[in-house]
Amino acid sequence: MAAVFVGLGFHVEIAGSIALAFFYGTFGLWAAYKKRITPALFLLGVGIVGCFFVPHLVSEAQSDFAQTRVLVNEIGNPHGIFSGSAFSSISKELTSTIVRSISLQTPQVSVILFGAIVWLVAARWQIRRKRHIFIKRFFLLCLGLVVVTWAWFSTNLGWRSWQTVYMSPLLYVAVLLALFDIPKKIGYTVLAISLVSHAILFWGQYDDYVYGPTADASILHNELAAIDWVYQKADRKGFSVYNYLPSVYDYPYQYLFWWHGRKTYGYLPCEYASFPGAPGLFVPGKIYYQEPTRGCPTSARFLIVEPDDNRDNRRRWLDAVKHNTTLLEESDVGNIHLEKRVVL
C-alpha cells in the first residue's frame, strides 16, 4: 500500500515525491536487512512504484523527451536550482515546521513543549519497551522522513513550501499520538493548548483568504475581486483576458473564471489564458469549459498581472501582450495590477 501512495505522489508533486521515494527505499532496505520484510516484498514494492512511471515515459516519448531535456539543461545551468545548496534555509524551514506542530502562534513555547514531549516519550519508552509500539514506530518514522526530506532539499535550491506540505499533518498527528504516551495531565494540557492554537490560527487565515483584507495576490478574496473588476469593465460584452503569475505558481484563473465568472455573470471570456493564442490549459477541447461567450472575437483585452521577483520575465510578458494595444483603464486589487486595453 505504501508503494501505491509513493507512486501516486509522482503524479501530484514530483520534487516532494522524490523525498518520499528516498525514504521508502531507505526504510525498505533497512526492513529487508533486519528481516522485517522479505527481499521479494521489497522488490515488489519497488516494482509497483516503477509502474507509476509508465505514463511519464509514454508522455516523454510522445513529446520528444521535452521534460528530460529541460532537466538536463537545468542541471547544466550555472544559475539553476542544482547550482548550489540550501542547508541553512531548509534547516530553518523544517525546524519551524516541527515546532509549529505544537503551537502555531508561539514558536518559543513550541520549542520547549516539543523538546519536553520528545524527552518524556523517550523516557516512557525506556521504561515500557513493549507498550504503545504503534505510536513509537509512527513517531520515529515521521522523524526519519523529516531527516530524508531535509537531506534531499538541502542539496539544491529548488525548494518551495508546497513541496513539503505532507510534513505538517504527519508531524501533528505524530505529536498528538505521542501525547497519549506521556502522563495524562501533561498530555491533555498540551493537547488543549495545541488544539486551541491551531483552531485560532486556522479561522484567522481562513477569514483572510475568503474575506480579506490583505494585499496578497494569491488570496482568493483578491483574485475574485480582480475577476469582478474585469467583468464590470467589460459591461456585459465579450472580452479576452490574460494573466501573468510567477512561473512557480499554478494558474488559478483557469478555474476561477469558469467557476465564479460564469456563475455570477452568465458567460465566459472569448479567451482566458496566460498569453494570446496559448493552448487551452483547462481540459483542451472541452466546449463545456469554453461556453457560453458573448460577441467573439473581440478587440477588448484585459490583463491580470501579479507581482513577481523575476522582473525580467514579467517585463518581457508585458511587452509582448501589450503589443499593438492601447490602454483604456487600469486599477489595482491588493498587489494585483489590472488593465483594460483595446487591440488596434
The tens digit of pLDDT for each residue in 332-344 reads 998 999 999 999 8
Burial class (CB in 10 A: 0-12, 13-18, 19+), 214: middle
pLDDT surpassing 60 at residue 170? yes
pLDDT surpassing 90 at residue 82? no
In the structure, what pLDDT confidence band is assigned to residue 280 with cuts at 50, 70 and 90?
low
Number of Cβ within a 10 Å radius of residue 43: 12
pLDDT surpassing 70 at residue 101? no
pLDDT surpassing 60 at residue 51? yes
Per the rule left: phi > 0, alpha: psi between -120 and 50, beta: everything else, 240 is beta
For residues 135 and 121, give the distance between their C-alpha atoms in angstroms, rounded to a whole number.
10
For the chain, give the percent of residues with pLDDT over 70.
90
Mean pLDDT value across the chain: 83
The tens digit of pLDDT for each residue in 189-200 reads 878 877 887 787
For residues 300 and 326, give the distance between their C-alpha atoms in angstroms, rounded to a whole number.
10
- Cα Rg of the chain (Å, integer): 25
Select from 149, 154, 185 the least CA-distant residue to 164. Answer: 149
Query: In angstroms, what CA-CA distances link 335 with 234, 281, 321?
Result: 21, 24, 20
**Bond before 39 cis per omega within 30 degrees:** no
For the chain, give the percent of residues with pLDDT over 90.
21
Residue 275 cell numbers, joined: 498569453
pLDDT surpassing 80 at residue 250? no
Prediction pTM value: 0.67
